[in-house]
Amino acid sequence: MWSPYGNPPQNLPLKRHHTARRYVHIVRESFTTQLSKLICAIILICLFVAGIISFILWLSLRPHRPRFYVNEFSLPALAQDTGFENAQISFNVTDRNPNHNIGIYYEAVNGSVYYRDHSVGATPLLFPFYQPPKNTTSMYGVLSGAKLTVNSRRWKEFTSDRATGTVVFRLEVTSMIRFKLSKWKSKSHRMHANCDVGVSRDGLILTTSKDKRCALYFR
């Protein structure tokens, strides 16, 4: 029978079926979106945790520079007006490896003493050696005779500064070093440890300079 309202009554169930399919499609899209967000969140969390772990490993494994300290420095002849002929400089420096897992290879270590940027002597300190982690090495040097290149003019400058109460020297320790972690070794670095040392009228190191940490440079 024809109906004045348009579609036949038997078509109504098709409309309900279409609505159900659309609802399922919306649910699937929502689930996919939520799943994508969850996967992205998991990936971001993993990257964040990996970054923190990498940063911690980098902090614990990156090489720390050695630390040098001047323990002793003396020029006894400075206390004597006629001490030029018997002048002798002696010093003791400690080298600390602060790393927990990294050792340091040193090539030959040399020590030089400067006064007003003029060299007054140089001497070998140590043969090549390996310094284990958390280890302290003492370096002892003596400058006298041919190793102490001080002329009468330079000595007058020493005694002139002595009158003011302080004679300032610069002790420089140089070597080529490499860092070692397990089987890995770094490339060689030219190391300079510069230590400013003040000496009193009696030729002994001032308290302010004793056990003072030296500046360290690499080239």
pLDDT category of residue 60 using cuts at 50, 70 and 90: low
Task: Give the total residue count for the chain.
Answer: 219
For the cut 90, the answer to whether the pLDDT of residue 32 exceeds it is no
> Across the chain, which distance is largest between two alpha carbons, in Å?
140
Sorting pLDDT into bands at 50, 70 and 90, what band is 33?
A: confident
Give per-residue pLDDT as tens, 82-136: 777 788 999 999 999 999 889 999 999 999 999 999 999 999 999 999 999 999 9
pLDDT at 70: 96
Supply the pLDDT for residue 8.
54
| The pLDDT of residue 213 is above 80 | yes
DSSP assignment of 154-180? HHHHHHHHHHHT-EEEEEEEEEEEEEE
Return the structure tokens found at 48.
């964040």
H-state helical runs in the chain = 12-61, 152-164
Indicate the domain borders of the chain: 9-61, 67-218
Q: Which residue has better confidence, 170 or 39?
A: 170
Name the CATH architecture for the domain at 67-218. Answer: Sandwich (2.60)
Distant-in-sequence, close-in-space partners of 109: CB < 8 Å, separation ≥ 6? 124, 125, 126, 139, 173, 174, 175
**pLDDT: which is higher, 121 or 29:** 121
Whole-number pLDDT of residue 215: 96
For residue 142, name the pLDDT band (cuts at 50, 70, 90): very high
pLDDT at residue 21, rounded to an integer = 66
pLDDT digit string (tens) for 190-212? 999 999 999 999 999 999 999 99
